[in-house]
Amino acid sequence: MKSIFVTRKIHEAGLAMLKKAGYKLTIYPKDQIIDRKTLLAGVKGKDAVLSLLTDPIDEAVFKAAGPKLKIVANYAVGFDNVDLKAAQAHKVVVTNTPSDKVNESVAEHTFALMLALAHRIPEADHFAKRGLYKGWSPTLLNGTDLNGKTLGLIGAGRIGSMVARHAVQGFGMKLLYSDMRPNEDLEKNFGGRKVSQDMLLKKADFISLHVPLLPSTIHLMSTKQFNLMKKTAFLINTARGPVVDEKALLKALRSKKFAGAALDVFECEPAIDCDLRDNLELKSFENVILTPHIASATEAARRAMSEVAAQNIIAVLKGKKPLTPAKV
């Protein structure tokens, strides 16, 4: 019987598929990041590993697993936690879990953050709950309309395109995008215009990041980029934390280089702040919204991710091609 190590319990739908296919599952029982020693022991002799984005899957893991290992199915759209070169050297297939349901969930969360920033919803909620509301005022917590404003997408793939649909069709926003390749659908369907990243930063009112974590995208947003933004602009990151240089971000927020930010991911995740000596300064700004990496946290998305991961494992262990191989 082929055996699979699952580094944390995921949605039951995918696990049920694997059990039905006749595989033996060993599931790490704690709802927390698996420690290194347990991970290395757990993968030993397994035919497949179903990992999470919080699990570093590197040369040591492949060596610990041994020659039986055929696939690492990463339960995430991203796969920057997996050493693809090491996987190739050990002839192990790596897959991820993209799907329209996951993409739509991330796009909706992105747009929810955009609306919350523009209309200062967390600030207003905190204000009301503290008992500070004493009556209507024409200047109380005035925010920003989205209608007629310009959305700038850095990364115009599947998720970025869904954010664009909400922005243009739902709220009448204008659209700029920066990407390695032109996106004809964005241009044809939503009036998008491809520009350089610098031009986008200078012109956009809302800047939303949708790039994978690669050596070329680490600190893609840093001091130079923040200095180009409008003072009235907002930054939204639902991609990967290290895309934004946290030290530079804090400096820009202190000097009010732009109007605010919403972050679902963090550079030193799971820590919300890289420098614990500054008393978690990132949490102190009223114009910053923080959510704990939950952009894809909907029932439909989590189910879809588990099913795609299971489908990939079943296919590879049967000698077939995976449904969604990891591609850089």
User: Is 293 known to be catalytic?
Assistant: yes
Computed over every residue of the chain, the mean pLDDT equals 95
Residue-level pLDDT at 328? 64
Task: For residue 134, give Cα distances in angstroms to 34, 127, 129, 140.
Answer: 49, 10, 12, 11
Residue-level pLDDT at 309? 97
Q: Which residues of 58-67 are buried (b: 16+ CB within 10 A; e: fewer)?
A: eeebbebbee
**Catalytic site residue from 119, 158, 219, 293:** 293
**Catalytic site residue from 165, 166, 210, 240:** 240
Strand, coil or helix: 316: helix
Question: Model confidence at 37, in pLDDT bands (50, 70, 90)?
Answer: very high
Q: What is the pLDDT of residues 216-268, one digit of tens each?
A: 999 999 999 999 999 999 999 999 999 999 999 999 999 999 999 999 999 99
**Do the Cβ atoms of 191 and 168 come closer than 8 Å?**
yes
What's the first-to-final CA gap in the chain, in angstroms? 33
Question: Model confidence at 304, in pLDDT bands (50, 70, 90)?
Answer: very high
Q: Which helix (H) or strand (E) holds 266?
A: none
Instruction: List, in order, residues 6 or more apart from 141 with CB less than 8 Å away.
Output: 120, 123, 124, 127
Q: What is the pTM of this model?
A: 0.89
Residue-level pLDDT at 276? 74
Phi, psi angles (nearest 5°) of residue 57: -105, 100
- Cα separation, 230 vs 259, in Å, equals 8
Phi, psi angles (nearest 5°) of residue 264: -105, -10
Domains by residue range for the chain, with CATH: 3-98+299-317 (3.40.50.720), 101-290 (3.40.50.720)
Question: Model confidence at 181, in pLDDT bands (50, 70, 90)?
Answer: very high
User: Is 240 known to be catalytic?
Assistant: yes
Task: Give helix then strand counts, H and E, for the chain.
Answer: 13, 12
Left, alpha or beta for 9 (phi > 0: left; psi -120 to 50: alpha)? beta
**Catalytic site residue from 108, 187, 269, 281:** 269
User: Cα 98 to the chain's mean position, in Å?
Assistant: 12
